[in-house]
Amino acid sequence: MTAEQFILQVQVKLNRLDTSSYQDVRPEEVVFFANNALKALILAFDIGQYSMLVNTPAVLIYLSNLIKRGAEAALVSNEVALPVDILKFKDVQVYVTIGEEAAWCPTREYNNEKTSNREDNPFRQSYPDEPIYRLIDGQIKFDVNGFNCTKIRYDYLQTPIEITENSTLTYPFMNELEDKTVTLILENLESRRVQTQPAVSKS
Protein backbone atom coordinates (compact mmCIF):
# COMPACT_ATOMS: atom_id res chain seq x y z
CA MET A 1 0.00 0.00 0.00
CA THR A 2 1.28 3.45 -0.86
CA ALA A 3 1.12 6.28 1.64
CA GLU A 4 -1.39 7.98 -0.66
CA GLN A 5 -3.70 4.95 -0.41
CA PHE A 6 -3.20 4.81 3.35
CA ILE A 7 -4.13 8.49 3.71
CA LEU A 8 -7.24 7.91 1.63
CA GLN A 9 -8.26 4.93 3.78
CA VAL A 10 -7.89 6.99 6.96
CA GLN A 11 -9.88 9.86 5.46
CA VAL A 12 -12.63 7.43 4.42
CA LYS A 13 -12.85 6.05 7.96
CA LEU A 14 -13.03 9.59 9.34
CA ASN A 15 -15.73 10.58 6.86
CA ARG A 16 -17.85 7.58 7.78
CA LEU A 17 -18.05 9.03 11.27
CA ASP A 18 -18.96 12.58 10.30
CA THR A 19 -18.31 13.93 6.81
CA SER A 20 -18.89 17.57 7.71
CA SER A 21 -16.52 17.53 10.68
CA TYR A 22 -13.52 15.60 9.35
CA GLN A 23 -13.40 16.38 5.63
CA ASP A 24 -10.70 19.02 6.10
CA VAL A 25 -8.08 16.69 7.64
CA ARG A 26 -5.03 17.23 5.44
CA PRO A 27 -2.65 14.48 4.17
CA GLU A 28 0.27 15.86 6.20
CA GLU A 29 -1.85 15.63 9.34
CA VAL A 30 -2.65 12.00 8.60
CA VAL A 31 1.06 11.26 8.12
CA PHE A 32 1.96 13.03 11.38
CA PHE A 33 -0.52 11.01 13.40
CA ALA A 34 0.36 7.83 11.51
CA ASN A 35 3.95 8.12 12.78
CA ASN A 36 2.71 8.54 16.35
CA ALA A 37 0.34 5.60 15.86
CA LEU A 38 3.17 3.44 14.51
CA LYS A 39 5.33 4.06 17.58
CA ALA A 40 2.42 3.43 19.93
CA LEU A 41 1.57 0.14 18.23
CA ILE A 42 5.19 -1.05 18.28
CA LEU A 43 5.45 -0.35 22.01
CA ALA A 44 2.16 -2.17 22.61
CA PHE A 45 3.19 -5.18 20.51
CA ASP A 46 6.53 -5.28 22.33
CA ILE A 47 4.77 -5.97 25.64
CA GLY A 48 2.44 -8.54 24.08
CA GLN A 49 -0.67 -6.49 23.41
CA TYR A 50 -2.07 -7.91 20.18
CA SER A 51 -5.53 -7.56 18.71
CA MET A 52 -7.50 -10.68 17.82
CA LEU A 53 -7.09 -9.91 14.11
CA VAL A 54 -3.38 -9.13 13.90
CA ASN A 55 -1.00 -11.66 12.35
CA THR A 56 1.10 -12.22 15.48
CA PRO A 57 3.96 -14.25 13.89
CA ALA A 58 4.39 -11.57 11.20
CA VAL A 59 4.40 -8.84 13.85
CA LEU A 60 7.06 -10.72 15.85
CA ILE A 61 9.24 -10.95 12.74
CA TYR A 62 8.75 -7.22 12.15
CA LEU A 63 9.72 -6.44 15.77
CA SER A 64 12.80 -8.65 15.56
CA ASN A 65 14.11 -6.41 12.79
CA LEU A 66 13.80 -3.38 15.09
CA ILE A 67 15.65 -4.93 18.04
CA LYS A 68 19.32 -3.95 18.15
CA ARG A 69 21.51 -6.00 20.46
CA GLY A 70 24.84 -5.42 22.14
CA ALA A 71 25.34 -1.70 21.61
CA GLU A 72 28.13 -0.44 23.86
CA ALA A 73 29.25 3.03 24.93
CA ALA A 74 31.85 4.47 27.29
CA LEU A 75 30.61 6.65 30.15
CA VAL A 76 32.23 9.93 31.13
CA SER A 77 31.47 11.02 34.68
CA ASN A 78 28.91 8.21 34.83
CA GLU A 79 26.90 9.48 31.84
CA VAL A 80 26.78 9.42 28.04
CA ALA A 81 24.60 10.72 25.21
CA LEU A 82 22.39 8.13 23.53
CA PRO A 83 21.66 7.51 19.84
CA VAL A 84 18.54 9.30 18.64
CA ASP A 85 17.01 6.13 17.20
CA ILE A 86 16.26 4.50 20.57
CA LEU A 87 12.53 4.00 21.04
CA LYS A 88 12.79 1.79 24.14
CA PHE A 89 15.49 0.01 26.12
CA LYS A 90 15.14 -3.77 26.19
CA ASP A 91 18.06 -4.37 28.55
CA VAL A 92 20.82 -2.23 30.05
CA GLN A 93 23.95 -3.44 31.81
CA VAL A 94 26.69 -1.26 33.25
CA TYR A 95 30.34 -1.94 34.04
CA VAL A 96 30.84 -1.03 37.69
CA THR A 97 34.17 -0.48 39.40
CA ILE A 98 34.44 -0.29 43.17
CA GLY A 99 37.90 -0.46 44.69
CA GLU A 100 39.81 -3.20 42.87
CA GLU A 101 36.69 -5.06 41.78
CA ALA A 102 34.88 -4.59 38.48
CA ALA A 103 31.96 -6.40 36.82
CA TRP A 104 28.98 -6.04 34.50
CA CYS A 105 25.85 -5.44 36.58
CA PRO A 106 22.12 -5.15 35.90
CA THR A 107 20.49 -1.74 36.22
CA ARG A 108 17.26 -0.09 37.31
CA GLU A 109 15.57 2.88 35.68
CA TYR A 110 14.59 5.70 38.00
CA ASN A 111 11.82 8.01 36.89
CA ASN A 112 12.21 11.76 37.14
CA GLU A 113 9.33 12.30 39.52
CA LYS A 114 10.25 14.12 42.69
CA THR A 115 10.09 11.97 45.82
CA SER A 116 10.55 13.42 49.28
CA ASN A 117 11.84 10.23 50.89
CA ARG A 118 14.31 9.14 48.21
CA GLU A 119 17.43 9.55 50.36
CA ASP A 120 15.92 7.61 53.27
CA ASN A 121 14.23 4.86 51.26
CA PRO A 122 16.66 1.94 50.63
CA PHE A 123 14.55 0.73 47.69
CA ARG A 124 15.09 4.02 45.85
CA GLN A 125 18.87 4.19 46.32
CA SER A 126 21.53 3.20 43.82
CA TYR A 127 23.82 0.31 44.75
CA PRO A 128 26.88 -1.10 42.94
CA ASP A 129 25.19 -4.44 42.23
CA GLU A 130 22.21 -2.71 40.55
CA PRO A 131 22.88 0.98 39.81
CA ILE A 132 20.00 3.33 39.09
CA TYR A 133 19.99 5.36 35.89
CA ARG A 134 17.98 8.32 34.66
CA LEU A 135 17.14 9.32 31.10
CA ILE A 136 17.52 13.09 30.80
CA ASP A 137 17.80 15.20 27.62
CA GLY A 138 18.93 12.32 25.42
CA GLN A 139 21.49 11.12 27.95
CA ILE A 140 21.71 8.18 30.32
CA LYS A 141 23.12 9.14 33.71
CA PHE A 142 23.88 6.82 36.62
CA ASP A 143 23.42 7.78 40.26
CA VAL A 144 26.59 6.68 42.03
CA ASN A 145 27.89 6.86 45.58
CA GLY A 146 31.19 5.16 46.38
CA PHE A 147 31.52 3.43 42.99
CA ASN A 148 31.95 4.30 39.31
CA CYS A 149 30.18 3.30 36.12
CA THR A 150 32.58 3.28 33.18
CA LYS A 151 30.63 1.79 30.25
CA ILE A 152 27.26 0.39 29.29
CA ARG A 153 25.94 -2.22 26.89
CA TYR A 154 22.32 -2.37 25.91
CA ASP A 155 19.68 -3.90 23.70
CA TYR A 156 17.03 -1.56 22.40
CA LEU A 157 13.98 -1.23 20.23
CA GLN A 158 14.78 1.04 17.32
CA THR A 159 12.52 3.89 16.24
CA PRO A 160 10.86 2.81 12.97
CA ILE A 161 11.59 4.57 9.70
CA GLU A 162 9.41 7.66 9.47
CA ILE A 163 6.35 7.48 7.26
CA THR A 164 6.21 10.17 4.57
CA GLU A 165 3.70 10.96 1.86
CA ASN A 166 5.96 9.08 -0.59
CA SER A 167 6.37 5.93 1.50
CA THR A 168 5.31 2.41 0.61
CA LEU A 169 3.73 0.78 3.67
CA THR A 170 4.15 -2.97 4.14
CA TYR A 171 3.43 -3.37 7.85
CA PRO A 172 1.75 -6.64 8.91
CA PHE A 173 -0.71 -4.57 10.95
CA MET A 174 -2.13 -2.13 8.41
CA ASN A 175 -5.69 -2.22 9.75
CA GLU A 176 -4.47 -1.55 13.28
CA LEU A 177 -2.30 1.30 12.01
CA GLU A 178 -5.24 2.87 10.18
CA ASP A 179 -7.51 2.53 13.22
CA LYS A 180 -4.90 3.90 15.63
CA THR A 181 -4.23 6.84 13.32
CA VAL A 182 -7.96 7.59 13.14
CA THR A 183 -8.19 7.40 16.95
CA LEU A 184 -5.30 9.82 17.45
CA ILE A 185 -6.75 12.27 14.93
CA LEU A 186 -10.16 12.15 16.62
CA GLU A 187 -8.63 12.65 20.07
CA ASN A 188 -6.70 15.66 18.80
CA LEU A 189 -9.67 17.23 17.02
CA GLU A 190 -11.99 16.73 19.98
CA SER A 191 -9.47 18.18 22.45
CA ARG A 192 -9.11 21.28 20.25
CA ARG A 193 -12.88 21.72 20.18
CA VAL A 194 -13.09 21.49 23.94
CA GLN A 195 -10.36 24.10 24.34
CA THR A 196 -12.16 26.52 22.03
CA GLN A 197 -15.44 26.30 23.96
CA PRO A 198 -16.26 29.48 25.89
CA ALA A 199 -15.59 29.34 29.61
CA VAL A 200 -18.69 28.89 31.76
CA SER A 201 -18.98 31.36 34.61
CA LYS A 202 -19.40 29.73 38.02
CA SER A 203 -20.68 32.87 39.72
Specify the higher pLDDT residue, 120 or 166: 166
**146 and 84, same structural domain?**
yes
> HEC string of 64-122?
HHHEEEEEEEECECCEEECCCCEEEEEEEEEEEEECCEEEEEECEECCCCCCCCCCCCH
Same domain? For 88 and 151 the reply is yes
DSSP 146: S
The rounded distance, in Å, linking the Cα atoms of 151 and 80 is 9
31 and 72 belong to one structural domain: no
pLDDT at position 185:
93
Residue 163 included in any domain? no
Q: What is the residue-averaged pLDDT of the chain?
A: 87
Give the domain extent around 29.
3-54+173-193
Residue 177 covered by a domain? yes
Query: Do 185 and 105 lie in a common domain?
Result: no
Q: How far apart are alpha carbons 171 and 9 in whole angstroms? A: 15
- Total domains, the chain: 2
pLDDT reading at 168 higher than 60: yes
- Whether the predicted pLDDT of 200 surpasses 70: no
Least confident of 47-61, 104-118, 132-146: 104-118
Q: pLDDT tens digit string along 124-149?
A: 678 899 999 999 888 999 989 899 99
